[in-house]
Structure 1
Amino acid sequence: MLEIENLSKEKIDSKSLEQIYETMLARFCAQANGELRLELLLVDSKASKELNRTHRGKDTPTDVLSFPLEVNLHSQAPQTLGSVVINMDLAKEVAHKLGHSTESEVKLLFIHGLLHIFGFDHEVDNGEQRAQEEALIKEFDLPKSLIIRAQEE
């Protein structure tokens, strides 16, 4: 179950985010026995900056943060995978700059953050997160991934 808390002024299409979540759950947690929940927080730049400073020691807003929790996939009990936090101000700004919709940018950020929840880490892996991200982007017909964009800069 995807629990979305929109603390921003932007409207979002929760159904498409739920579809992404269900697709990724089936791909990465198919062996789970109990319900797996995820919290998605949509915040402004001020809240993003505060969370980034508190949890990463970086005093600047960021586009997406992931806070994974440990789960036992064999448990029958409902469990929370963690939280993904998306900065809607930055999502809107980047989408405008790159010429695609805010909704597409939010989906990209959600996929990126959710891959971190599932244990991928592009900073230390050998391209696994990038490959997964690219496959999902193709599946959902989205623009270039965050990892690709960062490498092009």
Structure 2
Amino acid sequence: MALKLDWNNEQDKLEIRDDLIELLNTVLQKAAESEGVEEGEVALTFVDDEEIHVLNREYRGIDRPTDVLSFAMNESLDEELDIVYEVEEDEELDDLTDMFGDIIISVERAQAQSEEYGHSIEREIGFLFVHGFLHLLGYDHQDEASEAEMMGKQEAVLAQVGLVR
């Protein structure tokens, strides 16, 4: 089984077309393949600046909009699964363990950044999506070395699907 992409649109600034979702699904499969991930589920939500601002303030303590947020299930799920597993052994538990987490993209930030960097909105959303996915897998960019590693992985995936600058 390949990775499953569930998506939701909670904004009206950009029409989310089927071809964009197909492209992002391909990006997800390539990113997963490059990381040796064979199955699981990722939830993607498109929002506006106002909504991502609220989430950024609430969850990160940063009082401004951002371009992408990632919320990995594995950050707090391991301890919770130990408790749940003792109480109830069923397929729903397996469903939870297959969920990598949520990626939230501000389409307003993506539009502004695509104009600023001189590339397509599809390329920018693809970049943000891969970036968010790598965060779900535990990658971070707190220093120059980890940022360079993450950037290299992102660009390699985007090149595979033709989303180059």
2:94 aligns to what SS in structure 1?
Answer: coil
Offset at residue 37 of structure 1 (A)? 1.0
Matching of residue 8 in structure 1 with residue 19 in structure 2: no
Offset at residue 69 of structure 1 (A)? 1.2
**Equivalent residues of 2:69, 2:132 under 8 A apart:** yes
RMSD: 2.2
- Matching residue within 36, 39, 52 for 2:43: 39
- Matching residue within 22, 25, 29 for 2:32: 25
In the other structure, the counterpart of 1:130 is 151
Matching of residue 118 in structure 1 with residue 137 in structure 2: yes
Matching of residue 58 in structure 1 with residue 62 in structure 2: yes
From the CA coordinates, give the structure whose radius of gyration is larger.
2
Higher relative contact order (CA closer than 8 Å, sequence separation 6+): 2
Distance in 1 of aligned mates of 2:155 and 2:120? 18
Task: Give the partner amino acid of 1:56.
Answer: R
Matching of residue 140 in structure 1 with residue 158 in structure 2: no
In the other structure, the counterpart of 1:94 is 113
Offset at residue 138 of structure 1 (A)? 2.1
Task: Give the partner amino acid of 2:26.
Answer: Q
More helix by share: 2
**Equivalent residues of 2:30, 2:157 under 8 A apart:** no
Distance in 1 of aligned mates of 2:151 and 2:115? 24
Paired residues in the alignment total 139
Tell me the TM-score normalized by structure 2. Answer: 0.75
